[in-house]
Amino acid sequence: MTASVQQRSSRVSLWSRGRIFSARNIAVAVFLVLALVFGPILLGAYWTRIMTACAIFAIPAAGIALLYGRLGLVALGQVSLMGVGGWITLRVGHATALPFELLLVIAAVGTGIIGVLVGLPALRLSGLNLAIVTLMLAGAFEVVFTVTGFPNGGEGFLGRAAGGVLQKPLPRPVLGTTDPDYFRYVLIVTAIMFVIIALHLANRPGRAWAAMRQSEAGALAAGIGTVRYRLWALAVVSATTGVAGGLLAGNAGLLDPISFKASQSILLFATVLIGGGFSLLGAAIAGFLSQGLPPLLNSIGVDGNLIFVILGLGMIQALTTAPQGIAGQLQGLARRITRTITKKGKS
């Protein structure tokens, strides 16, 4: 009875007006509204497409942050799971012509199931062993994508257009037919995925994951089903990553296996460490670093391939002096500014 009352109290405090309308949430909501209204106008056509890709990649980055920051798991196959979500979206889309929103739901469910099934053998692994296993799985997905190819509107189960048959791109959603509208569409879907992950982190699964990160033996002693909660985490992360793959398929209408190399998963994991693996802000920064930094370097006359050198240096800096990443440093700076303003106000 006491536990039930405590759980109800926890839910009440989570949804209390003070928490929902906190300064951080209001700032995020204002930024989102401004981006939706003025983003495409300020960015222009080229950077609108770049920022669309950044928002899409922020979703698997949030999944990596959940696994690493809350469970201490190093998973190096998120970009491959994006490919799975994209494959499902294209295949079902070409075969059935369902609404794009329903395709995203199917991609989330399908990728969630595949992610859990693939992750089952790795449930007892952690650290370097898990990193190697997931990297090998990403390599296996890369081979499968290369051999089978992605559906491109052709006939048959795989939907491959061969020979002189014209490839048919997947139509975009009705609400996002143009680049500016698709940018807004992706931004809203990304925000919904972030909210889903944030709710998991703030509720019972998040508390269980935190306990497991501190001590798996202690979590077991406290009655936490570690296997069940690990499966839960894999399902949530895989499903949201599948949605990102669907958005990527909708962006171009076609997908290429070269976009889902195992090395891309390593690159995305590195950007999450630099951006900050312990917050969703870090995931958003990681999305920009992985997709926005190379064209930004090119725009100022620097070879975009130098991103590997820059990320290598960033990794060293993050691992040695800034374990919370750029997001942690920004949050620390905001706290210092707030304290300074508060002191001046009192004096």
Give per-residue pLDDT as tens, 268-305.
Answer: 998 999 988 888 888 999 999 989 888 888 888 888 77
User: If you average pLDDT over every residue of the chain, what do you get?
Assistant: 84
The H or E element that residue 196 is part of is helix 179-202
Confidence of residue 12 (pLDDT cuts 50, 70, 90): very low
Q: According to the model, what pLDDT value does residue 4 have?
A: 45
Which residues lie below 8 Å from residue 269, measured CB to CB, with a gap of 6+?
64, 68, 74, 75, 76, 78
- The whole-angstrom separation of Cα 291 and Cα 283 is 12
Residue 13 has pLDDT above 70, yes or no: no
Q: According to the model, what pLDDT value does residue 313 have?
A: 84
Q: According to the model, what pLDDT value does residue 19 have?
A: 61
Residue 27 has pLDDT above 90, yes or no: no
Tell me what the mean pLDDT of segment 199-208 comes to: 88
Question: How distant is the alpha carbon of residue 276 from its chain centre?
Answer: 13
Q: According to the model, what pLDDT value does residue 347 have?
A: 67
| E strand map for 171-318 | none
Q: According to the model, what pLDDT value does residue 330 have?
A: 85
Q: According to the model, what pLDDT value does residue 305 have?
A: 78
> DSSP of 121-149, one letter per residue?
GGTT--HHHHHHHHHHHHHHHHHHHHHH-
Note the pLDDT tens digit of each residue in 74-109: 888 889 999 999 999 998 988 888 899 999 999 999
Is 235:115 a contact under the CB 8 Å cutoff?
yes
- The whole-angstrom separation of Cα 238 and Cα 11 is 26
